[in-house]
Structure 1
């Protein structure tokens, strides 16, 4: 499925720069040290993508929701910001070169953006499990991209 969500025209403030890098570094360390993939009771993973411009591996901590089919769902919410997060564009460029650190191991996955009925079903599951995402959706005029991570091999 295609990665085709355009940036919106308004949304919440999105943190950037050194503060975000520092915060992400702390969260990645917490995810890896826990070995269970939970931070503050929330299921977390480290998304490893290949930079679309640089070709360098990028690592981003994200929360995830288990899907009914056993895959993992992640949301390109950017806290309700008007733009998609950078990792979304990295997934679009290299959807078959993604790995995740989760539950103490590194797993190769394929990324697929959900559309139509698949997206609608996943959205209901996500807001039931993590209502904060409904709040993020209300802050922006873009439709938050939902991504399914399917284990490779």
Structure 2
């Protein structure tokens, strides 16, 4: 948790992020499915177009889905912070041919996802975050 807090602080401060490529990192805020509280998680993303990015719930091949994914499955309205932008988005878990296409593309760009896939029996969720509305930084 302390590592995530440090990354979140560094990201929001606009500086270097220890051990990470800033241009591949976003902050995703979900609503806790049990508590109703906001939870922010730093994660890698892949941009599809200006209004859609993909996040991957691989959790390095853990046997269960990460909490952030379970939260957005329960409430798909999320907040995305990428670069200097902050906006609301709708989280859309992919399925069928769309998921297969995106997963294959992601593994070709980022081969380590194949290692994550090999470590688990679950299907790793691929989620599209689609911009809902923009609002100013600092809100």
TM range (shorter): 0.7 to 0.9
User: Where does residue 56 of structure 2 map in the other structure?
Assistant: 75
- 1:103/1:136 CA distance change after superposition, 3 Å: same
**Is 1:105 aligned to residue 76 of structure 2?**
no
Quick one: distance in 1 between partners of 2:87 and 2:68? Answer: 17
Q: CA RMSD in A?
A: 2.1
Task: Give the secondary-structure state (helix, strand or coil) at the position aligned to 1:23.
Answer: helix
Does structure 1 retain, via aligned residues, the 8 Å contact 2:7–2:17?
A: no
Q: Residues 120, 37 of structure 1: CA spacing in aligned structure 2 closer, same or farther, 3 A cutoff? A: farther
Specify which structure has the higher proportion of strand: 2
- Equivalences for 1:116-135 in 2 at 5 Å? 116-135=96-115
Per-residue CA deviations over 1:3-24 (Å, capped at 9, x if unaligned) read xxxxxxxxxxxxxxxxxx1111
2:55 & 2:85 partners in 1: Cα distance?
Answer: 18
Unaligned runs of 5+ in 2: 134-139
Q: How big is each residue's C-alpha offset from its partner over 1:71-129, in whole Å with a ceiling of 9 and x where there is no partner?
A: 1110111110001000111101110x200111112111000010111001111221122
The TM-score, its normalising length taken from structure 1, stands at: 0.79
C-alpha displacement of 1:37: 9.0
CA distance in 1, matches of 2:127, 2:30: 13
Compute the TM-score of the two structures, normalised by the length of structure 2.
Answer: 0.86
TM superposition shift of 1:40: 2.6
